[in-house]
Structures are given as structure tokens and as C-alpha cells.
Amino acid sequence: MTQAYSLQEVAGLLQVTPERARELAALAWPEPREVFRFQDVVLLRTAKNLADRKVNSHRISSALARVREELPVDQPLSSVVLQNEGREIVVGSGDGRWNAESGQGVMNLGRPARGAAWLRPLPRRDAEQLFAQAVELERDDPTQAIDAYTEAVAANPHHADAHVNLGRLLHAHGRLREAEAHYVAALVSCPTNPTATFNLAVVLEDLGRLDDAIERYREAIELDPECVDAYFNLSRLYEKKGEKVSALRHLKDYRRLSTR
């Protein structure tokens, strides 16, 4: 799934002004751009965190340029990890780590300091521990749970369940665009995840993007033909659009499944 974001939307996701978002984009890409993919947003978040840690803008831009030169053509820039370790900007790609400015290899001496960049290469088991901790926190302290899920997806950006749960909590807090981004991230990692697909449909509906929501609800039913709520929500949306036949058909399916 490819979701496009405008500069204004990226600014909202990063919680910066549009001007700041444009400045960050200029660090990452030599040519101006106005449309971004989710993975671009991930990269910009990393650049923002480096900048927030007072790393010089020229160093960030130079590091990103060197990474772009070193990566294979088919490997996106957003697939690597960048973090500030002491005076170095360190790149992680797979099991390798190297200085982004000099190109020299860096030994992995353990877990990086807390608060490095948004995508820091923690061991996979730490992501699972953070995920389990977040699940425990959800009932009593949703705000802390959000923080723990954020840590989990930082440790493992492909942890679909963490993205789904984080999206759900952000959605409940009214942070709809951020929730959408995490549902999309879950589907990037696991395109057949029915929960992420359904939840994405709900947040798209709440954002007023009804046609997009309908498409996602239909996908949710394809992935899980017994997703009762998807039939009901589709019936509502088709009714709202004035498509009576489709609304009635999905309402019948909803009633049939809900009485089993």
C-alpha cells in the first residue's frame, strides 16, 4: 500500500511547522518535494531527532548524502538507521554499522544510549519486551503505553502488532493522522493484517475520507470474510452515499453473520 502525504500533513505527523518540515526535507533530498511516502516520513523523523540533539544541519545532510551513495539502487534510504553517538553519526544497515561521514566501520559495543534517533537498532528481543510492557500499561496508563509502543516500533520498525496497538491508542486520543501513519506502517510490514486494515478504514472514515474508507473496509472483508463490523460500517457508508442496493446487501450480510 502506498499512501501519499502532503508537506502540511508531514508537518502534523512530525509535530513541527510546515517551514520546519521543508527544512528537514531539504536535508534528506537534493530536490524539493511536496509529496511524501510513509517511509519518507520515517526518515524525516530520524533527521528531526538528530537535529533536536543539536547535530549540525550540514553534518546531517552530508551523512544522508553519503548513505545515499553507498546504498544499493534498490534499497531505500529509509531502510537504514541513523543515530548520533558521541561525535559520530552512525549508520546501521542490517548487521553492519559505520560512520556516515568517514565511511569507516563501527564496532557494535552494545545497546545505544536512550534517546538517540527515532530508529535506533535495539535487539529484536528488546522490541518484544517493550511491546509486552506496553500491553500491560494500556489499561492503567495509556499515555505510558503510547510511549512504550513508540519505543517498540523504534526498536523494530517492522513490528506490525506494535504499530496497530499504537495506532489504536493514538486514534483514541484524537491523533488521527498519526494513527493512520502507524496503521499504514503495520500494513507495510504485514499487508494481510486484517486488524490494521479495518482500523485504517475506521480512521479514514473519521478523517472524512469516505471513499478511501470504503476501499479499506472492502479489503478487510477480503482478508476476513467474517469481519462483522466491516459489513455494518460499509452499509452505513453506502447509505450515506445514497447507494441503497449496496447498503442493503452489506446490512443483510451483517445480520446474517451477527446471528450465528
What's residue 11's pLDDT? 82
What's residue 90's pLDDT? 65
What's residue 233's pLDDT? 95
Tens digit of pLDDT per residue, the chain (260 long)?
455 778 887 887 677 888 999 999 998 888 888 888 766 776 787 788 778 878 888 888 877 777 667 666 555 555 556 666 665 666 655 555 656 555 555 444 344 433 333 333 334 458 888 899 999 999 889 988 998 898 888 778 789 999 999 999 999 999 998 898 889 888 877 888 999 999 999 999 999 999 999 999 999 999 999 999 999 999 999 999 999 999 999 999 999 998 87
Alpha-carbon Rg of the chain, whole angstroms? 20
Domains and CATH numbers, the chain: 5-99 (no CATH), 124-224 (1.25.40.10)
C-alpha cell of 118? 527515532
| Contact present, 189 and 160 (Cβ < 8 Å) | yes
CA distance 76 to 7: 20
CA distance 13 to 32: 19
What's residue 228's pLDDT? 94
What's residue 120's pLDDT? 39
What's residue 111's pLDDT? 41
What's residue 51's pLDDT? 83
pTM: 0.58
